Amino acid sequence: MPTLNHYLLLAILLFGLGVTGVLIRRNALVILMCVELMLNAANLALVAFGRSGGSLEGQAFAFFSMTVAAAEVAVGLAIVVLIFRHSGSTDLESIRLVGGGAREEQ
Amino acid sequence: MLTLILISLAKVVAILLVIILPLATLLTWVERKQSAVMQDRLGANRADILGLRVWGLFNIIADGIKSFSKEDWVPPFANRFLFNIAPFVGLFAAMVTFAVIPFGPPIHIAGQEIALQVADLNVGFLYILAFGSMGVYSVVLAGWSSNNKYAQLGAMRGISQMISYEVVLGLALVGVVLVHGSVRLPDIVAGQGEHWFGWIPKWGVFTQPLAFLLFLPAAIAETKRVPFDIPEGESEIIGYNLEYSGAKFALFLLGEFIEIVVLSALLATLFFGGWQVPWLADSGFVFGNGATVEMAPLVVTVLRIASFLLKVVFFCWLQLLIRWTLPRFRFDHLLRLGWREMLPLALLNVVVTAFVMLS
Amino acid sequence: MEGILFVLLSVLALGGGLWVLLRRSPVDSALGLLTTMVAIAGHYMLLDAPFLAAVQLIVYGGAVIILFLFVIMLLNLRQDRLRARRLAAGRWVYALAGVAVLFCLAGIFLAGGTSGAVDAGPSGTVEAFGEALFRRWVYPFELTSVLLLAALVGAVALTRHAAPKAEDKA
């Protein structure tokens, strides 16, 4: 019988994976995916907390966070497409907006 | 616990062996015959066993043997794993959708009530939407793993089409859910057992005509068949299953036919009363003018299951008829139809239904 | 039974997460993410939240990941080209991330006090959830529609404005 601690542990590990992904990957798409991973970890924790607290609040929070995540992905992907059109790559390292547009890949 | 598992297993086997697989395999032959009839041809009739032809029914077996004995070709630069699982994903998504469809009234055996439905889920039609959308992965994986630009373009057309029409599909169903006040399919079917003035059954097609008119094309778009077959376009353009051959290609076709059967069952359940027979109550026929015909419970149950099967067969036929009647859409027309015409209508339907239900 | 399912789903979720991180091909990453999402939907079922599980499958499985895959195919990103550089420059980041995870872990478990069971709450059925959503949280719910509309308009505007610009340059 899993307890709240188990769910929290799982959520922490998933969140950690998400953080690590955002830090080590350079493909904008994969970074967005890792952000989704973190959001989901948070949702899982919310639902587990709600369950142990005896109300539907956790689930409602998770529901709203899902809608926010969906909106975020729509806009995020639109930006990625824009970046790709601008610099021909989804690699965040190759984009230097401040330095004047796209930089050639070394 | 054990009996419960056994009962569920029996139901799954019954659905697979009585409804889905026989109908889907028969449809492979019916489609050829239907097209032949509509185009003034004879159609498949050559396969024979010892000179026996039975209207070409043996062509089903011949088709099976042919496709399974062909070379199972995997393109050299393909992603083998994804390439191999793609057709199965489609089959799986189509088949599991059937789990929530009630194919008969609850029956009583040895004092136990058994629902003729594999899983009476609380989330009902949301489950259908969830697993219906899993079918897209079959197209995506097939198109991507083939490592072929034409397959990939076909898959992209598939994604755009399927996610566009999924929205319409879901919104059309919202109207039905609003009318019956429940997302559980047994409730929706039970609600359709009532009558107006004792004569007109409260079927979804009468309570939600607009939803039906939106659901049918949207659902056909989900099955990717003519007039919505742009992802595949077998006659001129090339689609996502371009690189497939032999048994795996046959699996794609089988998946398509299973989708037809599932869609027919959905149409019957949501818009045509499911297993309900008009004027047939638990005790027998009760007509609007007060006339009644008493019937044994067993007869009533059999009639109801038969009516469900009949409706499914009818809608399978209707889909074949549509497939061989209409020409294909142009892709921009298809997307415009989905987003600019059907979506606003679906939203309007939801709003109007909600106001009618409130007043 | 529940314990076994929990372990199974957790392994799936974490495996999918690792897959997202470690695969070179973005499509593989997206499929790993899909595995994680489905496993989390399973967790929601275990937590007696069937509505949320269905929404998870519809929103993430049916829309978000499909959208990712669509963009990957649109841009034809077959391989992440940057693997060779990633390892060399990213080593210290690995360490940082590991420390961050450990820090979180330690924080939670040192704080303690979360020994609750997870079968206390009401079941998140469609009826119960709808009741809560449209009574208590009806304003936030309505606001999400504004949010979604804004995102819709934003996404369309972003990609639409770019199209003529790209043509101008070419």
Q: CATH number for the domain including C7?
A: 1.20.120.1200
Kindly indicate the confidence band of residue B132, based on its pLDDT and cuts at 50, 70 and 90: confident
**Residue C122, in any domain of the structure:** no
Q: What's the whole-model pTM score? A: 0.89
What is the strand order of the sheet B284-286 is part of? Answer: B280-281, B284-286, B292-294
Residue ranges making up the domain that contains C157: 137-170
In terms of phi and psi (left: phi > 0; alpha: psi -120 to 50; beta: otherwise), the region of A56 is alpha
Question: Which residue is associated with the tokens 């047994």?
Answer: B186
CATH code for the part of the protein at A26-106: 1.10.287.3510
> C64–A52: do the CB atoms touch at under 8 Å?
no
C/A touch flag: 3 or more CB pairs below 8 Å:
yes
Cβ distance C52 to A14 less than 8 Å, yes or no, reads no
Per-residue model confidence (pLDDT) at position B199: 80
Mean pLDDT for B332-344 is 92
pLDDT at A104 over 60: no
CA distances from B213 to A14, B220, B227, B230, C123 (A): 44, 11, 15, 21, 36
Q: Which chains have 3 or more CB–CB distances shorter than 8 Å to chain C? A: A, B
Report the length, in residues, of chain A.
106
Preferred mutation among A27, A56, A80 to probe C, highest tally of C CBs within 10 A: A56
Percent of chain B whose predicted confidence (pLDDT) is above 70 = 99
Residue of C nearest to B177 (CA): C126
Cβ separation C90–A23 shorter than 8 A:
yes
Please tell me whether residue B254 adopts helix, strand or coil conformation.
Answer: helix
The number of domains in chain C is: 2
> Which of the four pLDDT bands, split at 50, 70 and 90, describes residue B209?
very high
| Bridge partners of residue A80, in order along the sequence | none
- Give per-residue pLDDT as tens, C32-80: 999 999 999 999 999 888 999 999 999 999 899 999 999 999 888 876 5
Q: How many CA atoms lie within 13 A of C170 on its CB side?
A: 8
Phi/psi of residue B282, nearest 5 degrees: -60, -30
- Interface partners of A (3+ CB pairs, < 8 Å)? C
Q: Which residues contact C134 (CB under 8 A, 6 or more apart)?
A: C141
Structure tokens at B357: 């239900």
Cα distance between residue C52 and residue C60, in whole Å: 11
All structural domains of chain A with their residue ranges? 26-106
pLDDT digits (tens, 9 = 90+) for B78-98: 888 999 999 999 899 888 888
Report residue B108 as tokens.
């009583």
Which long-range contacts does C75-80 make (Cβ < 8 Å, 24+ apart)?
C75/A80, C75/A81, C75/A84, C75/A90, C76/B152, C77/A27, C77/A29, C77/A90, C77/C25, C77/C26, C77/C27, C78/B147, C78/C25, C79/C24, C79/C25, C80/A26, C80/A27, C80/A30, C80/C24, C80/C25, C80/C26
Q: Where are the alpha helices (DSSP H) in chain B?
A: 2-14, 21-38, 59-69, 80-97, 125-145, 149-180, 185-191, 204-207, 209-222, 246-271, 297-325, 331-336, 343-358
B187: left (phi over 0), alpha (psi -120 to 50) or beta: alpha
pLDDT at position C79, please?
66
Name which of B308, B282, B278 is nearest B296 in CA terms.
Answer: B282
pLDDT confidence of residue C94: 67
Could you give the residue ranges of the DSSP H alpha helices within B39-77? 59-69
Lowest mean pLDDT among B17-21, B213-217, C104-108: C104-108
Interface test with C, best of B81, B85, B97, B122 (most C CBs within 10 A): B122
Of B122, B131, B155, Cβ closest to residue C50: B122
Q: Best-predicted range by mean pLDDT among A6-10, B20-24, B215-219?
A: B215-219
Which of these ranges, A77-81, B61-65, C101-105, C157-161, has the smallest mean pLDDT? C101-105
Whether B166 and C74 lie within 8 Å, measured CB to CB:
no
Residue C71 covered by a domain: yes
| Contact (CB, 8 A) for B166 and B133 | yes
Which of B142, B3, B218, B131 shows the shortest CA–CA distance to C27? B142
Instruction: Say which of A6, A24, A56 has its CB closest to residue C97.
Output: A24
Q: A83 falls in which pLDDT band (50, 70, 90)?
A: confident
- Cα nearest neighbour of B145 on chain C: C27
Q: Which of A33, A25, A28 is CA-nearest to residue A81?
A: A28
Residue C55 domain flag: yes
**ipTM of the complex as predicted:** 0.88
Query: Contact at 8 Å (CB) between A35 and C21?
Result: no
| C155, two tokens | 């996404």
Name residue B49's beta-bridge partners: B52
Chain B positions touching C50 (Cβ under 8 A) are 121-123
Instruction: Please report the pLDDT score of residue B297 as a whole number.
Output: 82
Minimum-distance CB partner of B130 among C27, C34, C57? C57
Confirm if B237 and B204 have CB atoms less than 8 A apart: no
Q: Using 50, 70 and 90 to split pLDDT, how confident is the model at C84?
A: very low
Q: How close C89 comes to chain B (CA, Å)? A: 29
d(Cα B222, Cα B170) in Å, to the nearest integer?
12
